[in-house]
Amino acid sequence: MKLAVVGTGYVGLVTGVCLAEIGHHVTCIDIDEMKVEKMKKGIVPIYEPGLSELMNKNMAAGRLSFTSSHNEGFAGAEVVYIAVGTPQKDDGSANLTYVEQVAVTIAKTAKNETIVVTKSTVPVGTNDRLQTIINQNKLSPIKIEVVSNPEFLREGSAIYDSFHGNRIIIGANTEEAAQKIAEINKPFGIFIYKTDIRSAEMIKYASNAFLATKISFINEIANICERVGADVEKVAVGMGLDQRIGSAFLKAGIGYGGSCFPKDTKALIQIAGNVEYDFELLKGVVNVNRKQQRILLNKLRGIVGNFEGKKIAVLGLAFKPDTDDLREAPSILITNELINGGAQVYAYDPIAIENAKKTLNSSIIYVEKLEDALEKADAALILTEWSEIKNMEISLFKTMKNPIVLDGRNCFSLVQMQESNVDYHSVGRRVVR
């Protein structure tokens, strides 16, 4: 089938590439012309494992192309996917400007009957609103129907998730439209759950809010573990053995970040607030996460006093491993506080440094090897569990002025650390010597 995907960010580009891989003819559209020029040359503008190979394979097969012209991209497309950003506004609600702009463009550009599939995460009721916008802006009486198809991929394993996800959610007003989108997705071989549009929109928010709740829950348990002498990793294993709980998302650390959990939790609080419902539990989850991002800073202050003139090694900047995305990463708050406190921050990240330079405080000194960050440092903070960091030689910490390590991602086993002379502090567990 001929398809168009609007927006080539983490979701749009992966969606376009994977739909091409299962045999569809896909045109990806983005208003960022520089990005489009790069993609036309086979260059992937983001870091996502496996994406470059799959993109180039499908371009070579003639199933995948790129354009900055909506007109060109929509020509002949039976289905148009919307995958543009829905960033957070100052009040926590989702900014729908980009999604609405695309709806207007589709209404004014589409020349044949079209199904519009919203992949972007949008508050409940948005797709109905998009349908109204399209109906009001249509230039001809062709049928354009909006369907909700929220995305669940995870950055860092987006390709894998597209082919091995747990479910595909399709929210539609008509069985005909739902069936057409189900047909498109059939080759993925993933269970398809068809529902109404508003429930589909809510499934996305409820799922992210629930996962964020699990993270904040285990982080609170971790904080208590530290005080009562229990080990949160053992607690998580024991809890996870209960199938009603499950072991996923029970990893204690310095809190969640990224482009989804922080904004989607806040947006759901807003969605509830708009119908005069106080989502107290989720407000707690958000507050716990905010507090958790500061935990290493508080511990560091307790150990080294003030930060003035101290060399601090920061290992890992991306919000999680295997991505170059820094959106809402704990590294933003942590490096800012360190620099405001007068520290010299030496930062290492295997992939995210280019994005970090655009996002983080300009005083940060970036190094290509983690050894260079550690040498003569007064303390090291681990913010992302990259495999390079998890598998580093512990002896490298010996090159620090003081081998004080605050590990926000529990990268090392306590046994490993017990045998070293590192003053090691992690989350929810303690080295007993």
84 touches ligand NAD by CB under 6 A: yes
Count of residues in contact with ligand NAD, rule CB under 6 A: 27
**Dihedral of alpha carbons 358, 359, 365, 371, sign:** negative
Q: Which is nearer to ligand NAD, 86 or 426 (CB)?
A: 86
For ligand NAD, which residue of 52, 56, 95, 101 counts as binding (CB under 6 A)?
101
User: Among the candidate windows 96-104, 212-220, 309-317, 412-420, which touches ligand NAD by CB under 6 A?
Assistant: 96-104
Contacts to ligand NAD from residues 137-156, by CB under 6 A: 151, 153, 155
Instruction: Using the minimum distance from each CB to ligand NAD, give the nearer residue, 39 or 295.
Output: 39
Using CB under 6 A, which of the segments 47-55, 78-86, 223-231, 297-305 binds ligand NAD? 78-86
Of 98 and 188, which has the nearer Cβ to ligand NAD?
98
7 binds ligand NAD (CB under 6 A): yes
Q: Which stretch binds ligand NAD (CB under 6 A): 24-32, 171-179, 299-307, 377-385?
A: 24-32
Q: Is 260 a catalytic residue?
A: yes
Of residues 98, 188, 217, 279, which one binds ligand NAD by CB under 6 A?
Answer: 98
Q: What is the 3-state secondary structure (H, E, C) of the chain?
A: CEEEEECCCHHHHHHHHHHHHCCCEEEEECCCHHHHHHHHCCCCCCCCCCHHHHHHHHHHCCCEEEECCHHHHHCCCCEEEECCCCCECCCCCECCHHHHHHHHHHHHHCCCCEEEEECCCCCCCHHHHHHHHHHHHCCCCCCEEEEECCCCCCCCCHHHHHHHCCCEEEECCCHHHHHHHHHHHHHHCCCEEEECHHHHHHHHHHHHHHHHHHHHHHHHHHHHHHHHCCCHHHHHHHHHCCCCCCCCCCCCCCCCCCCCHHHHHHHHHHHHHHCCCCCHHHHHHHHHHHHHCCHHHHHHHHHHCCCCCCEEEEECCCCCCCCCCCCCCHHHHHHHHHHHCCCEEEEECCCCHHHHHHHCCCCCEECCCHHHHHCCCCEEEECCCCHHHHCCCHHHHHHCCCCEEEECCCCCCHHHHHCCCCEEECCCCCCCC
256-295 positions binding ligand NAD, by CB under 6 A: 259-260
Q: Which of residues 58, 93, 120, 289 is near ligand NAD by CB under 6 A?
A: 120
CB of 302 to ligand NAD, least distance (A): 35
Nearer Cβ to ligand NAD (11/269): 11
- Residue 257 is labelled as binding a ligand: yes
* Distance set, CA 382 to CA 20, 103, 137, 318 (Å): 38, 43, 51, 11
User: Does the protein bind ligand NAD through residue 93 (CB under 6 A)?
Assistant: no
Of 1-9, 19-27, 225-233, 346-354, the segment contacting ligand NAD by CB under 6 A is 1-9
191 in a labelled binding site: no
For residue 35, say whether it is annotated as part of any ligand binding site: yes
Of 18, 28, 225, 260, the catalytic one is 260
Task: Tell whether residue 21 is among the known ligand binding residues.
Answer: no
According to CB under 6 A, which one of 58, 67, 88, 121 is a site residue for ligand NAD?
121
Residue with tokens 């903070």: 381
The yes or no reply on residue 29 touching ligand NAD (CB under 6 A) is yes
Cβ(379)–Cβ(312) under 8 Å? yes
Active site residues: 260
- Which residues bind to ligand NAD, rule: CB under 6 A? 6-12, 29-32, 35, 83-86, 98, 101-102, 119-121, 151, 153, 155, 259-260
- List the binding residues: 30, 35, 86, 121, 152-155, 204, 249-253, 257, 263, 320, 327
